[in-house]
């Protein structure tokens, strides 16, 4: 019988050149982490902690105060929850169509088909955890044109093959590889300018509200019957101390546990392990297990498992 695999917060390996804005002032101090799956990194040296396909990708972004991730879009779901710090998420062609501030435990399911970015507006280094739909995470990142242009001014060129080349290090595009073209005006016209109600009302849920809903059973956060109604190819639940159960259960596919508050002991036949906020545990398919708080105090964790729904556009 296989056992769970845990990636510890303190053992995460960052990549500081994962994306095209890695040299752009204001974005040049961010760290990207690929925990499960191939992710969407454009850097050849991005470390992947768990390669096994899950039907979705798990990643993270760590940033010091006032560091931002530039405007981009994805073809599949991009879900974030705040592990630490205070974060501003913004969206629109120029990032001014709307914004929302999120804090520890809050979650946002950002609709596909819009440009979005995020910034640490807290006073300390902060971390957000990400769930990206599909094993290939939608095939990569679609950047707003100004991001590609700004990056070129600071020495980074993105090839049409989706890989980065650093001219400051003497790198050049390989023979036969052209620069990634910027979106045309017609292509940009397909990207929506959603209102705050369309983004926040549909896809943002606050931790304290979800914890209240998880009093007797896990709160279905994202799913066909979730408080965020979407079918991104995975379901997300929030489990709390009061909704945790000793009875073991299992899934017919791998599932992922990510604590956001407190310490949790995960038990399975013949073994157990304690996980804490920032840790990510992959539980193998068909392994009976439970998760119970291992200490007193507040306790909550996010649970992610793939569904049979194809990864694709948001269900709005």
Question: What are the pLDDT digits (tens) for 45-63?
Answer: 789 999 999 999 999 999 9
Please answer whether residues 125 and 64 qualify as being in contact, where contact means their C-beta atoms are separated by less than 8 angstroms.
yes
Strands (E), 113-160: 116-120, 126-133, 142-143, 156-158
Question: What are the pLDDT digits (tens) for 209-258?
Answer: 999 999 999 999 999 999 999 999 999 999 999 999 999 999 999 999 99
Among 82, 74, 78, which residue's Cα sits nearest to residue 56? 78
Question: What are the pLDDT digits (tens) for 288-300?
Answer: 999 999 999 999 9
C-alpha span between 75 and 177 (Å, rounded): 23
Fold that domain 208-306 belongs to in CATH: Jelly Rolls (2.60.120)
Rounded to two decimals, the pTM is 0.93
Q: Where are the domains of the chain?
A: 5-203, 208-306
Domains 5-203 and 208-306 belong to one CATH topology: yes
Q: Which CATH architecture has domain 5-203?
A: Sandwich (2.60)
- Which residues partner with 234 through β-bridges? 306
C-alpha span between 296 and 48 (Å, rounded): 33
């Amino acid at each position: 019988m296989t056992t769970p695999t845990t990636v510890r917060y303190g053992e995460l390996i960052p990549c500081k050149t994962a994306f095209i804005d890695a040299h752009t002032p204001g974005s040049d101090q961010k760290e990207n982490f690929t925990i499960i799956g191939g992710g969407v990194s454009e850097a050849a040296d991005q470390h992947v902690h768990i390669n096994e396909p899950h039907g979705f990708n798990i990643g993270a972004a760590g940033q010091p105060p006032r560091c931002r991730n530039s405007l981009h879009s994805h073809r599949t779901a991009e879900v974030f929850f705040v592990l630490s710090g205070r974060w501003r998420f913004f969206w629109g062609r120029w990032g001014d169509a709307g914004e929302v501030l999120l804090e520890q435990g809050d979650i946002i399911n950002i609709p596909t088909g819009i440009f979005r970015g995020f910034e640490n507006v807290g006073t300390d280094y902060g971390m957000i955890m990400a769930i990206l739909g599909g094993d290939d995470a939608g095939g990569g990142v679609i950047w707003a044109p100004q991001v590609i242009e700004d990056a070129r001014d600071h020495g980074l060129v993105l090839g049409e093959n989706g890989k980065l080349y650093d001219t400051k290090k003497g790198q050049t595009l390989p023979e036969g590889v052209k620069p990634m073209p910027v979106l045309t005006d017609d292509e940009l016209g397909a990207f929506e300018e959603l209102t705050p109600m369309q983004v926040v009302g549909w896809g943002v849920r606050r931790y304290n509200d979800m914890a209240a809903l998880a009093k007797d059973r896990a709160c279905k956060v994202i799913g066909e019957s979730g408080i965020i109604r979407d079918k991104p190819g995975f379901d997300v639940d929030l489990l709390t101390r009061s909704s945790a159960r000793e009875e073991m259960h299992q899934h017919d596919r791998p599932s992922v546990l990510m604590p956001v508050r407190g310490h949790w002991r995960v038990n399975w036949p013949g073994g157990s392990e304690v996980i804490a906020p920032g840790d990510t545990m992959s539980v193998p398919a068909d392994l009976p297990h439970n998760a119970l708080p291992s200490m007193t105090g507040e306790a909550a964790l996010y649970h992610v498992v793939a569904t049979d729904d194809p990864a694709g556009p948001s269900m709005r």
